[in-house]
Amino acid sequence: MTPPDSQSPSPSRFKRLVRRCLQAIAAVCLAALLWVAYSLRDRNPGYTINVRIDPQQSHTSARPFRAGFSREKINPNLNDPQHPVWLAGFSNGRAATRIHDDLWAVASVLDDGYSRLGIVVIDAIGFFHDDVIAVRKAVPESAQFDYIVVCSTHNHSTPDLMGLWGPHVLRSGVDRVYRQQVIDAASKSLTDAAAALQPARMEFHEIPTPPEGLVVDTRKPDVYDADLRVLLFRSTTSPTVLGSIVNWGNHPETPWSRNTEITADFPGILREALEDGIRYGDELKVPGLGGIHLFANGCVGGLMTTHPSVTVRDPFLQKDFKEPSHDKTRALGHQLARRILDRISNANVPTTTHAPIGIQARTVHIPLDNKNFLLAIGLGVLERGQARWLQFRTEIAAITVGDASIACIPGEIYPELVNGGVVKAPGADFDIDPVEIPPIREWMPGKIKLVFGLANDEIGYIIPKSEWDTQAPYLYGKTSPVYGEVNSVGPDTAGILHKALRELVVPSRAPSP
């Protein structure tokens, strides 16, 4: 008879071991499910926007139009070697090494005596809708806002505020302390701009700006929204400039992917030049306007960029810059600033102190078809909840200020959706005619029509459905997938936003559901 092996577990011990292993696996699975459920939770349950403020065209009493501007610095802390600041855009693991120039939250407040509108733009890659809500909640009620718009410049040399650009793909790059710093700065700049309100007169400028040597469309069809649009506000008692709102469409990524220095990119150069003038060292080339200037990005989908292939000429040094650098950024910013400063100094345009404000805004839900986004949310890389299962809560708005109108779009919209030129692209996944028609500017009211991209959210690229392409054969005979869809919520996003915006602007002509 063979004696039992003293090293072998008894059947009962083996069963207990298996049971404990299964319990441990179940516990891990349960913890993972709870973590995913927590990550997918709605951060603002029940939050909805439904604003309808018609402009008061006939004032029953004297209520002057007023404007106010303010700004707050939002530089991150780079002095803690244990907590790197991860730069957003391009790729993971890009830690900031120094601050080349300051980042800002710049606010403009407009008030027609009946309604008060706040606009704040931050130097950032993007700001999710939940963070926009946090800014609104942080603004004291005493500031008396009827509506607040929070935009991002979409800068690719700023700290990650979305989560996608941490040290690696499975770890968020967001520093929550810095995110709160930005929320606080945005709310303070709005509050201070409201406190700085003073009687103002408004003028507007639409400046033709050919894209050559400035920006390139890197995806067919070649459609641009290249012109500069400016709302300028002066004191009613003097020529003093209070500030301006500048709108132009281009990715602020001029220093490109190898840059590790924090910079506001060309929006920072532009703002500084408009205020203090175009300077090279101690030499003043063109006088500035004074005041505080806000840059709101426009149609950047497609995508619009000052690509390394683009040569930008510095109009004052008479020197070309092709390789990505801060010098190239300066040349781009000064190209834009010179056009604006020349127009304002030479153009004899009418001004008005009568600029009634109209605001139409509503919450929109977008289906989440991007499984990579869903995975990133579930893993906690993207800190963004779902208002409904597999749906993002976002927002659309249409604003009028006198003869100016502003469409607020929560992402990177393709220019053809705004100006026309949506095509039935050969090789697209959907064999359909264009559905997002007519183009947005065709039915926007007013004499000057601005489009704020990344307004109140950043949901990624907003691509016409008839140009959507993730499967072979690829667009225009390409041998590999085109870029864009990987950073888009889904193919129906453009149609949903187009329809929602049109219902706000022209409800009687809006298409039926």
Domain positions in the chain = 200-355, 357-506
pLDDT for position 511: 43
Q: Looking at residues 457-467, what average pLDDT do you find?
A: 98
For the chain, give the mean pLDDT. 94
d(CA 277, CA 288): 4
> What are the tens digits of pLDDT across the range 140-156?
999 999 999 999 999 99
Could you say which DSSP state residue 79 is in? Answer: -
d(CA 225, CA 299): 6
Locate 415 and state its tokens.
Answer: 């220019």
3-state SS class at 100: coil
- From its phi and psi, is residue 219 left (phi > 0), alpha (psi between -120 and 50) or beta? beta
b/e code 398-436 from CB counts within 10 Å (16+ = b): bbbbbbbbbbbbbbbbbbbbbbebbbebeebbeeeebbb
Residue 508 has pLDDT above 60, yes or no: no
> What are the tens digits of pLDDT across the range 277-330?
999 999 999 999 999 999 999 999 999 999 999 999 999 999 999 999 999 999
H/E stretch holding 7 reads none
Of 169-178, 273-282, 375-384, 502-511, which gets the smallest average pLDDT?
Answer: 502-511
pLDDT for position 8: 61
Using DSSP bridges, classify how beta strands 147-152 and 116-122 pair: parallel, antiparallel or unpaired: parallel
Backbone angles phi and psi of 413, in degrees to 5: -85, 140
Using DSSP bridges, classify how beta strands 304-305 and 312-314 pair: parallel, antiparallel or unpaired: unpaired
pLDDT for position 513: 38
pLDDT for position 138: 98
In residues, how long is the chain? 513
- For 11, residues 6+ apart whose C-beta sits below 8 A from its C-beta are none
pLDDT above 90: percentage of residues in the chain: 85
Residue with tokens 């667009």: 475
Locate 513 and state its tokens.
Answer: 């559901």
pLDDT for position 239: 87
Instruction: Answer whether 352's CB lies under 8 Å from 199's CB.
Output: no
The alpha carbon of 469 is separated from its chain's Cα centroid by a whole number of angstroms, namely 23
pLDDT for position 7: 57
d(CA 104, CA 175): 17
Locate 150 and state its tokens.
Answer: 């929070």
- For 26, residues 6+ apart whose C-beta sits below 8 A from its C-beta are none
- For 399, residues 6+ apart whose C-beta sits below 8 A from its C-beta are 117, 147, 149, 357, 358, 359, 360, 405, 406, 408
d(CA 133, CA 153): 18
Q: Looking at residues 386-393, what average pLDDT do you find?
A: 91
> What are the tens digits of pLDDT across the range 8-24?
667 788 888 888 898 88
> What are the tens digits of pLDDT across the range 36-72?
888 889 999 999 999 999 997 655 565 899 999 999 9
Residue with tokens 């909805």: 48
Residue 79 has pLDDT above 80, yes or no: yes
Locate 69 and state its tokens.
Answer: 């501007």
Using DSSP bridges, classify how beta strands 319-321 and 312-314 pair: parallel, antiparallel or unpaired: antiparallel
- Of the pLDDT bands very low, low, confident and very high (cuts 50, 70, 90), residue 5 is low
pLDDT for position 512: 40
**Positive or negative: CA dihedral 205, 210, 216, 219:** positive
Closest Cα partner for 297 from 410, 441, 443? 410
Q: Looking at residues 210-238, what average pLDDT do you find?
A: 96
